Amino acid sequence: MKILLVFDFDNTIIDDNSDTWIVQCAPEKKLPIELQDSYKKGFWTEFMGRVFKYLGDEGVREDEMKRAMISMPFSPGMVELLNFIKKNKNKFDCIIISDSNSVFIDWVLEATNFHDVFDKVFTNPAAFDSNGHLTVEKHHTHSCTRCPQNLCKNVVLVEFVGEQLQQGVNYTRIVYIGDGGNDVCPVTFLKKDDIAMPRKGYALQKTLYRMCQNLEPMESSVVSWSSGVEIISYLQLLIKE
């Protein structure tokens, strides 16, 4: 009987957005206006595909992108939190559900030796093609109208929990740690013993606060955080129960 910890990546594990951070590799550290203006709401993955093609065309190579990516800072207290989970892995299963991409997340986890903290990473698959360009694909297709078309985190979470149940793994509770607007959908899946942990001052916390004000139904508890150290304190209480 374990607790399932679900993490977002951008602005949760790391203290920035990996997709915008990579722009520092561009000439003059910015994108051309016409490329910036090509973004359409809900089609971020397609936009990033164009960004990666532009970077490749400008001669930005894999090692340069990797150097930039692994220089990204972790969110406050996050290194301590991941080390705490590592030491208590018998009590937790741990997954990432992220709208970043598999290459960026792998680079960061490998560089910091945190790969073994996570049992599974759900994100947009990415790879370098024969021209040395980074290409990214949609994680999946879904019919949820609230989420961007490449990823509904709720669908991923429901499927994962269902598959685990079929294999005899039943979680005592789910703790969801995130920050963004696309974390709202999976939080609505949480039940009364589960805990939503939004980062203070970010979109997820603001949305959950508004839902609470509007008396919209939500079963889980909500505990906000600004440092991973606060999350450690909360998890220590949970594993003592």
Binding residues for substrate: 19, 99
Amino acid at 76: P
Residue 4 in 3-state DSSP?
strand
Is 8 one of the catalytic residues? yes
99 and 17 Cβ atoms separated by less than 8 Å: no
Amino acid at 23: V
Give whole-number Cα distances, 32 to 18, 38, 42, 69, 101, in Å. Answer: 19, 10, 21, 21, 22
Question: CA 105, CA 186: separation in Å to the nearest integer?
Answer: 20
Tokens 């960061």 sit on residue: 108
Phi, psi for residue 194 in degrees, rounded to 5? -85, 165
The DSSP call for residue 126 is E
Question: CA 23, CA 30: separation in Å to the nearest integer?
Answer: 6
Is 116 one of the catalytic residues? no
First to last CA, the chain: 12
Catalytic annotation, pick one of 10, 93, 183, 194? 10
Question: CA 160, CA 92: separation in Å to the nearest integer?
Answer: 15
Annotated binding site: 8, 10, 19, 99, 179
The alpha carbon of residue 3 and the mean position of all alpha carbons in its chain are separated, in whole angstroms, by 18
Please give the positions annotated as active site: 8, 10
